[in-house]
Structure 1
C-alpha cells in the first residue's frame, strides 16, 4: 500500500516535471476556444483536429507556413493530461458530419478537452541542436462563453445583482417573459422551503432560456443556469435575484432571502471563481468565436445585447505577456484571435465587411489587449464549409449567391444581403434586407480533410510561431 502511494506521488512529480520541460522548450500550448451559444465552437474544434490529422497527407492549408513548406510530419490525438475534464467528442462529431444526411455535431454543454501531438521539422537554429524533428503538444479546450459572462458577478453583491436584474425587467418584452417567476410576490422574511424554492428557480431558468430562444439575447446571468454542465440539479443553481419588496434589515438565517443570498455567494465562490482558477487562468492562447449573422437577422435589440455580451467577455481576460519564464509559474494569454464564424453563409465579397464589423464589435477590448502587449487578430472563416458560391438571376440581372441545403433539406440559392461594415445605426434596422439562413453541412468524404474557409489562417496565427 505504501509502495502504491509512493508510485502515485512519483507519477505526479514526473508529470509536473514533463510539463515544466515542455513549457521551457515551447513544446506545450493550451488553446482555449469559446463563444456564445451557436457560434460554432464544436464545429471549429472538430475541423481543427481534422485538419491537423490530415495536414501531412492531403492538407489544403496554403496559409499555414509549416504545412505549405512540407515541415509537418503528422499529428495525432493522444491521451489528455487532465483526466478530470471530459474528452471532446471528436469521433461523434465526425459521425454526424459524414451521416446521411450530414448534420452538425451536437454542441458541448461544459468544458471538454482534446490533446494533439504534432511532429514537425524545425528550422530553429537552437532546437536543431537537439534534433531536426520536434514535437508540439496542443491542448484544445472547449468551454461556453456564457460562463465568462458570470465573471463580472465576482464584483457584485447579491443586492447589486438583484438591482441590475430589476432594472432590466423594466423592458416590457422581458417583463412579459418573466411573469411566470415574478408572481406571486415573495416575502423576504418567509421561511425557506426546498420544494417551492427549487420550483421558483426552475421558472427563472425557463425565463432565461426564453430570453435566448424568443428574443435572441446573449447576456444571460447566471450563465450556469442555462448551461449547468455537471451541476445540473444542484442546490447551488437554485436561487433567483430578489426583485420584490426589499427586507427592512438583514433577514435571519433560514429565511428565503438569506438562503438565496448565501447560494449566490457560494455560486460565485465555487463555480465562477472556481472556473477561473481551475481552467481560465491556465490558458496560453484564446479563440473567441462570434456569430454576427444571426443577431443581424433578429433585430436591433438582439444585436445590441450581443454587443454588450462581447464587451463583458472582453472584460474577463487576464492579459500578460506569456514568455517562457512566466509560463512556468502562471501561464497567461499572449495571443487572442477573434473569429467571425459562418463566413460561408454570406457571399465572398461580404467577408471584408464581416471582418470590419467584428473589429468594431471588439475594438475596446482589443485595444486593451494590444496595450498590454498581446497580439490580436480578426478573421472571417468557416471551419466547415456548408455552401458553394453561385450566381442567381432576377429581372434579367445576375447577382452573387450562395448555394446549399437548409436544415430541413430544402435546396437554397440566395443572396443573404449586405453585411454592415460597422455597428449599424438606428436607420439601418428600418431598411435592412438581411436574410441569414442556416445550412446543413455539404456531403463530404470521410477520407479527405473537411472543406473550410481560412482555417489555415487561424492555424498560422495560433501555432505558427511554435512550429519554427
Structure 2
C-alpha cells in the first residue's frame, strides 16, 4: 500500500512537472513569434499605479472611441476585442472594482494595491497588412500585466550590501536633514546599543516598532528612499524583525567576525540575510526577472513641491532602483529561455495638475532626472524612455489656470509656479516652495460601466511606447 501511495505521488509530481514544462514551452513559442509580452508596473504608494492599470485596460478594451490617436492600432480600429484572464501565479488585478469606483456617485479613485497582482489581456486584432495568409487576417497578442509595490524594489538594492555596510549607510542617512529631525531620541537609543552584547528579543522588538514607525513617518513626510521597504506595507510582520546598528563603524570587521553567535550583531546579521533570502531574492528570481518591459510611475510634481531634500531623496531611490535591473542584450535565445528587461518606461504621473503648456517641461525634467542617475553603460544595453501621462484627467485647462473638483467636492481654480525643464536651481526652488499640488476628485463618469470614454492625457503615447511595436 505504501509503495502504491509513493507511486501515485510520483505520478502526480510528474504530471505537474509536465504541465509546467508545457506552459513554459507555450510562452517560449509565443515570445519567439512576438505574440507574448510581460510588463511590470510599479510605483511608490501615491503615484497612481492602480488608476494607471485600470485606465490602461479600459483604453484597450474600448479603444475604438478612446481618443488614442498616437496608438496606431487603436486609431486605425484594428483592435477587435480584449479578454481579461487571471495569471496562474498572481491574484487577479481588480479592474472591475476600479471601474466601479470611478463610476460611483461621488466618484472614487481605484483602491490602492499594497501586494502583487496581475492579469492577462488576450488582445484580438486585425493585421496591418490584410492580404490573405494561411493563418487568416486576425491575430492574438497576449499581454501580461504584473503589478507590484515600488517599495519592494528598494529592497533589491539591499542584495548588493552585507548587513554591516547597510547599517553604516543607514546610520549616515539618518544622521542628517529631515530624518534626523524625525528620529528624535530613536537615534540616541540605536547609537547606545552594544553590537557585541547578548541579544535581547524584547528590547529589539520594541526598537523595531519604533524604527518602523520612524520609517512610516519618513514616508508621510515625503521621503522616498526607505529600507526595508516591506516594513511600510500592511501585514509586514511576516519576517523576523531586524534593525540597523548605528555604531558598527566603531568596531573592526575582525571584532565583528569574532562576535559570539548570540550577540546582537550576529543575530541581526543572520536575520538580515534571512530577509534577503526568504523575501527579496525570491521576488527577484520569480517575479522581477520574468518581466520583459517595465513601467515605473514617478510623482515628480509631488517631489518638486516637497523641496530640494525630498526631491534629492527621490532621485537617490530611483538611482538604486536602476542599479537593481539585470540588463542584457536580450538576443533571440535570451528572449526564449531567460527573458530580461529590455525596456523601462519612466512615467511622470498626474500631469493634469499643471497647465498643458507646462507638460513638455515636466517630461524634460523627468528625462533629466533619469539621465542624471542612469549611466550610459545601462542605456547602451537597455532602452530607457521617459513620458508623462494622466491615466484619468481630472482638470480643465484655461490658459493661465486650471479648474477642478477637489477631494472635498469643492470646485475651484488651481494655479502653480513655472515647472522647470531641468534640475531646479535655488531661484526655482524658492518659487516652488509655496506650492502644494492638490488632491483631486475623480471626474463624474457613470457611463464607464457600459464602456464610456475615460478622459486621459497621453495614454496613447504610453501604449505606443510600451506595446506599439507588437502590432
TM-score when scaled to structure 2? Answer: 0.90
Partner SS for 1:328: helix
Contact 2:302–2:436 (8 Å) recurs in 1: no
Give 1:241's match in structure 2, choosing from 232, 238, 244.
244
Task: Identify the range of structure 1 (163-172 vs 363-372) with the bigger mean alpha-carbon deviation.
Answer: 363-372
Q: Which residue of 2 aligns with 1:278?
A: 286
Contact 2:86–2:118 (8 Å) recurs in 1: no
Residues 181-230 of structure 1 show CA distances to partners (whole Å, capped at 9, x for unaligned) of 3354323233333333222111111111111112x1101111111136x6
User: Structure 2 unaligned runs (5+)?
Assistant: 1-7
Matched, 1:80 2:87: yes
Q: Which residue of 1 aligns with 2:359?
A: 351
Residues 107-157 of structure 1 show CA distances to partners (whole Å, capped at 9, x for unaligned) of 111221111100011236999442221111111011122222222222212
**Structure 1's 239 and 5: CA in aligned 2 closer, same or farther, altered over 3 A?**
closer
**1:206-245 equivalences in 2 (<5 Å):** 206-214=213-221, 216-227=222-233, 232-236=236-240, 238-244=241-247
Contact 1:383–1:455 (8 Å) recurs in 2: yes
Q: Which residue of 2 aligns with 1:394?
A: none
Q: Which residue of 1 aligns with 2:5?
A: none
| TM-superposed deviation, 1:37 | 2.2
Counterparts of 2:57 and 2:34, CA distance in 1: 20
User: Structure 1 unaligned runs (5+)?
Assistant: 391-398
Q: Which residue of 1 aligns with 2:153?
A: 148
How many residues of Structure 1 are paired with residues of Structure 2 in the alignment?
451
Matched, 1:449 2:445: no
Q: Which residue of 1 aligns with 2:199?
A: 192
Task: Identify the range of structure 1 (318-327 vs 407-416) with the bigger mean alpha-carbon deviation.
Answer: 318-327
Counterparts of 1:104 and 1:430, CA distance in 2: 32
Task: Identify the range of structure 1 (38-47 vs 317-326) with the bigger mean alpha-carbon deviation.
Answer: 317-326
| TM-superposed deviation, 1:369 | 3.9
Matched, 1:116 2:124: no
**Structure 1's 126 and 255: CA in aligned 2 closer, same or farther, altered over 3 A?**
farther
| TM-superposed deviation, 1:235 | 3.4
Residues 329-371 of structure 1 show CA distances to partners (whole Å, capped at 9, x for unaligned) of 1101222212111011101000010011001000042744431
**Structure 1's 440 and 265: CA in aligned 2 closer, same or farther, altered over 3 A?**
same
Partner SS for 1:378: strand
Matched, 1:159 2:164: yes
Counterparts of 2:375 and 2:388, CA distance in 1: 16
**Structure 1's 376 and 186: CA in aligned 2 closer, same or farther, altered over 3 A?**
closer
Partner SS for 2:337: coil
Contact 1:366–1:376 (8 Å) recurs in 2: no
Q: Which residue of 1 aligns with 2:104?
A: 99
Residues 277-325 of structure 1 show CA distances to partners (whole Å, capped at 9, x for unaligned) of 1111111111111111111111111111111112212222222243443
Contact 1:116–1:137 (8 Å) recurs in 2: yes
| TM-superposed deviation, 1:5 | 5.0
Q: Which residue of 2 aligns with 1:269?
A: 277
TM-score when scaled to structure 1? Answer: 0.90
| TM-superposed deviation, 1:459 | 0.7
Give 1:303's match in structure 2, choosing from 300, 305, 311.
311
**Structure 1's 366 and 378: CA in aligned 2 closer, same or farther, altered over 3 A?**
farther
| TM-superposed deviation, 1:22 | 1.2
